[in-house]
Amino acid sequence: MQKIISSFLLLFLFACNFNSECDLRMLTDEEIFERAKQAKFFSEDTPYFLETGEFVPPDSIGNYDPTKFGAYQYVDCKDSIVKLVIRPITDGDILLRERIDSLYFHNIDLQIQRIKFVESDTAMQNQRIQTVKYYGPSIISDIDCDHIESKITEAFFEGQANRGKLSLEIDKKHRDLIESIVHHCGFEAIKSLGEDAVYYTFMIIQHSPDWVMEKYIDKFEEAAESGYLRKASLVLMIDRVLVSRGEKQIYGTQFRRNIETGEVTFYPIVDTENLDERRREVGLGSFEEYKNQMLSRRR
């Protein structure tokens, strides 16, 4: 989600419409934030400059790592962004980005407005809108706590059928259902339905963004300790949450695959010497067997 939201911020930092007829004024950080709140967008086909005044070609903008560079924003007498000057990043830039990230995360409408402004292709527009909705906050709806078992079961099987389509809209709908059930009825209401309901819920959350899994990981760990969920299933979520935090995984289940070559690279694993022992304790085969299985899937 962070990458998606940050891409919107880059459009604030690296885009403008040049107009030399008016005296230019540099915006303060607070003004930039207010413009973000008001959805004051501008086009992407604009000139960029260095502090030396040198023009930066559009195809060279990607050379400036956003973790190392920020930009001054200038408006003309019509209050339109007309010039950005790239310069080394400051602590103020980092704070501003965090504020705008938070603003966009909690305001899906702003993100959708931005997508519609910059993306003319309808299909691509719809795809990007579904993506921001998927990574955004859950929508809590009214729930009848006496009739949640059938809803969870239906969502699970629809979700399994969706694995071939990978519709983010369907996954988001199911996650909203679980979030609504937990909000109104509590997680214990799901546990009271038995192992199947807990497993179905786990699989739905497993297909949610990392921040959602982070929210539920403790509940599923407690369910596993109580015998409501197989630990062999839970380790996938444990490792994924750890990797999303930038920490080493415990069971070696998470990897990335090169789309072009099919090469598999596993994320760092803690205490590799005892990895197979940890895997055996939760009912998993050896790491070597698992790695070979993942490698064979690219052939």
Whole-prediction pTM value?
A: 0.66
What is the model's pLDDT at position 298?
58
User: Which domain range does residue 69 map to?
Assistant: 2-133
Q: Are residues 95 and 118 in the same domain?
A: yes
Q: Which residues of 152-161 are buried (b: 16+ CB within 10 A; e: fewer)?
A: beebbeebee
Per run of 10 residues, the mean pLDDT along the chain (length 299 residues) is 48 46 87 90 80 93 93 90 93 94 85 83 87 89 96 96 87 97 97 96 94 95 94 92 93 87 89 95 93 76
| Whether 158 and 267 share a structural domain | yes
Question: Do 208 and 266 share a domain, yes or no?
Answer: yes
Among 74, 105, 133, which residue terminates a domain?
133
Question: Looking at the structure, do residues 10 and 56 belong to the same domain, yes or no?
Answer: yes
- Of the candidates 201, 162, 206, the one whose C-alpha atom is nearest the C-alpha of residue 181 is 201
Do both 124 and 209 map to the same domain?
no
Tokens of 45: 């086909």
Q: Are 239 and 251 in contact (CB under 8 A)?
A: yes
CA distance 211 to 156: 20
Number of other CB atoms surrounding residue 211 within 10 Å: 14
Q: Are residues 209 and 286 in the same domain?
A: yes
In terms of domains, do 153 and 124 share one?
no
| CA gap 139, 106 in Å, rounded | 11
pLDDT (0 to 100) of residue 8: 47
Q: Are residue 70 and residue 117 in the same domain, yes or no?
A: yes
Taking Cα atoms as reference points, which of 207, 148, 224 lies closest to residue 183? 148
| Structural domains in the chain (count) | 2
Same domain assignment for residues 240 and 213: yes
Q: Are 19 and 100 part of one and the same domain?
A: yes
246: tokens are 């930038």
Q: Which of 133, 163, 194 is the last residue of a domain?
A: 133
Q: In sequence order, which ranges of the chain are alpha helices (DSSP H)?
A: 2-13, 29-37, 91-105, 108-118, 122-135, 149-161, 168-185, 187-191, 195-206, 210-225, 231-244, 275-281, 287-296
Q: What is the largest CA-CA distance in the chain?
A: 72
From 133, 152, 175, give the residue that closes a domain. 133
User: Do 190 and 118 share a structural domain?
Assistant: no
Picking from 246, 160, 239, the residue whose alpha carbon sits closest to that of residue 207 is: 160
Integer Cα distance of 232 and 224 in angstroms: 9
